[in-house]
A and B are shown apart, each in its own frame.
Chain A
C-alpha cells in the first residue's frame, strides 16, 4: 500500500497545476458565458498546452489502463480548476482517444489518434439516443455496408463537444454488432443541432447529432466489436471521469466557502466563527476527502484489472455525485445571498453538480448494478 503520489505522478500533478495559473483561472471562470467560437478557441489552446505535458497520451484504451494512477493526480487538478474544460478534455482524450487507441486498428485512425494526443483536435463520442427513438432497449443508430463505405443513419442526444468537435465517434449497430463510426462534422448528412441549453457545465458544448445516410469509409469504422469490451471501457472511463469532476466540484466549493467564511463578517464577527458554518465546512471537507480517496481507489482497481473494479467505480460515481450535490448545497448556504448570485463559483458548482449524477451511469442504475454484483456474489 502506498498513499502518496510517486515522483512521476507528482510531476504531472504539479505541471498541470502550474498551467492553471491565476490568469487561467480567471479565463476558465468565463467559460460559462463563452460563445461557441470562444469555447473552441479556449478549449483548443488548453488541449495544446496539456499535450505539451504529455497529459493527452496517458492511459488511452484498456491496454494502457495501468497508467491511470499516473494520470489521475493531474486530472484532479484540472477538474478542480474547471469542470467544463476537464470534461471537454477527457471526452476528447480518454473517451474518444481511448476508443481509437484501444479498439481502432486502421492506419487512418492512427493518424486521428496522433492529432488527439498532440492537442490538435476536439472530439466527442455519441452513444445516448433519445427515448422516443427506441421502442426497445438498444441502439437504433445503424450503419449499412455499401462497398468500401458504410451508410449511417440515426440520431444521438447529449453529445459532449459536438458543436466544437472536429471528430465524433458515433456508436451504432453494424451487421448486428456494435461499432463506432468516425464522423467529421459538418460532413454531408451529419447535422449538429443547436447547442443545448443546460442547467450546469455551461462551459461545455453539448448538442444533438442527426445522421442521415452519412457515408463513412471503411477505414474510419472501429469494429464491429466482437464483445462488450469497448462499451464497457467507455462506461468505466466515463464514470471515473464524472466521479473526478464531482470531486473537483467538492474541493472547489469547500475552498470557496472557507474563503468566504474567513473574509466576511455577520453580526460583528467572522462568519467562520459560527459553529454551524464551521460544522458545514467540516462535513464538506469530509465529503470531499472521502470522495477523492474512493475515486482514487476505484481507479487503482481498474488500473490493476481487479475483478471488483467496476462495482467500486459505480460506488465512487454514486458517492461523489451525491457528495457534490450535498457539498455545493452546503457551500451555497455558507455564502448565503452571495452564493445565490449568478456567476459565483459556488452557484456555478451547485448547478454543475446535478449532471454528475445524471451523466454516465445514473445514480439509480449504478445502485442497481452494485446490488446486482453483490447478489450474484452471495447467491442463495
Chain B
C-alpha cells in the first residue's frame, strides 16, 4: 500500500488553494448571503482549468487523472470555497459534462465539452423527480420517439444549476415499462429548447450560491441525435456518475474540514475568556482534535474511490457507500462542534462557520441519503 500523492499533485493542490484564496474566497460570503451564483468566480474557475480538469486537452480539458481532479476539489474546500460553488462545479463537470464525454458521440463531445470545460456554458443533470429521489428507477419523465425527434414530458426536482444551465443531461423513460431500471435513456437538452422551462428557484438552508430548481418539460422536442449513448442505457449511465459523486463531489467536504481546523485554531488563540485564550481549555482542544480526526478518517475513503477509477476498476459500490455515509454523517458533529467553539459569533453570518455548518448539512442528503447508503451497505456486505 502507498498513500502518497505525486509531487505534481501536491504542487497543484497548493496552487489551487492559493488561487482560490485570492480569487474566490473573498467573494463567498457576499454571494452566500444573497443566495446568488457567483458568475465571476465561475469564470475564474474556468480560466484556471478547474471545470474540465480530467477531459483531454484537445477538448479543452486539462488531461489530468481522476486523483488530481479529486485533490483539486479537496483543495477548493480547504481554501474556504463555499459548498455551493463546489456543488455547482460537481454537478456541471462530473454529472453533466462527464456523462456527455463518457457516453457521447464525437460530435456531441466536440459540441459540448470545450464550452463546458471553459465554463462558457454551464451544465446540469436532471435525474431526480418529485416522486423519484433515491428510488431512481421509478422516474416518470417520458421521452417518445416521433420521427426524427424525441418529445419529452415530465418534471425534474432539486436540479443543481437548473436556473443557470445552458445544457442539461436529462434522464427519461423511453421503454414500455412504467417502472424499473430498463427503458431509461439519457438526453441532452439545451436552454431555449421549446417546451423546456426552469421552474421555481428553491430556497435552501445551505449551499445557497448553487441555484437549485425544477426543470419542466412540456412537449419538449429535441433532435433524435440528442439521445446520449444507447437507448435504454440511462440507468447505468446515471450509476456511473456515482464514482464521481463519491470522490470529487465529496472531496470539498473533506477539504472543508481542513479549512475549519485552521479557522478554529486561529480563533481559539485569539478569543479570550476567563483571562486566557480559549485554546487553553481542554474541551476546546478536544473539539479541534475531533475535526482533524474526522478529516483524516474521511480522506482515504474518497482517495480510494478515485484511485480505483484511475486503475480502470469497476466501482466497488460497498466502498462507495461507506465513503458517502461516513462523510455525510460523521462530519456533522465536528462541524457542529466548530460552530459551538465560535460561540455566539459562530451563530452569526459574520463568521463563516455558520455558512459552513449550513453547507455541510447537504452531505447526508444529496446524491443519495445516508439511509440509502445503509440500505446499500447492508445489501452488499
Contact = CB atoms under 8 A, between A and B. Distances in A.
Q: Is chain B found bound to chain A in the same assembly?
A: yes
Interface of A: 1-6, 9, 69, 72, 254, 258, 272, 275, 278-279, 281-283, 285-286, 289-291, 293-294, 296-298, 300-301, 304, 311-312, 315-316, 318-319, 364, 366-368, 370-372, 374-375, 377-380
B378 A279 contact: yes
Given A1-B2, A367-B290, A375-B279, A286 B322 contact: yes
B300 A375 contact: no
Contacts of A364: 282, 286
What is the interface of chain B mostly: helix, strand, loop, or mixed? helix
8 contacts: A1-B5, A272-B378, A296-B300, A300-B2, A300-B3, A319-B297, A368-B286, A375-B265
A372 B268 CA distance: 12
B358 interface: no
Contact of A5 (B1, B4, B265, B269): B1
B145 interface: no
Interface string B250-270: 000000000001100110111
Interface in B57-100: 67
Across the A-B interface, the 8 shortest Cβ-Cβ residue pairs: A371-B285, A278-B378, A282-B377, A378-B265, A282-B374, A367-B289, A370-B289, A2-B2
B296 A312 contact: yes
Nearest to A9: B1
Interface residues of B, number: 49
Given A315-B289, A378-B261, A379-B269, 16 more contacts: A1-B2, A1-B5, A258-B381, A278-B374, A278-B379, A282-B378, A286-B326, A293-B300, A293-B304, A297-B296, A364-B286, A367-B286, A372-B285, A375-B268, A375-B285, A380-B269
B285 A293 contact: no
Nearest to A301: B3
B3 A285 contact: no
Interface of B: 1-5, 67, 261-262, 265-266, 268-270, 279, 282, 284-286, 288-290, 292-293, 296-301, 303-304, 307-308, 318-319, 321-322, 325-326, 330, 371, 373-379, 381
Nearest to B6: A1
Contacts of B282: 364, 368
B4 A315 contact: no
A374 B293 contact: no
B65 to A, nearest CB: 10
Contacts, number: 142
Contact of A367 (B285, B299, B373, B376): B285
Contacts of B303: 1, 3
A281 B381 contact: yes
A378 B267 CA distance: 10
Nearest to B285: A371
A297 B289 contact: no
B293 A375 contact: no
Contacts of B318: 285
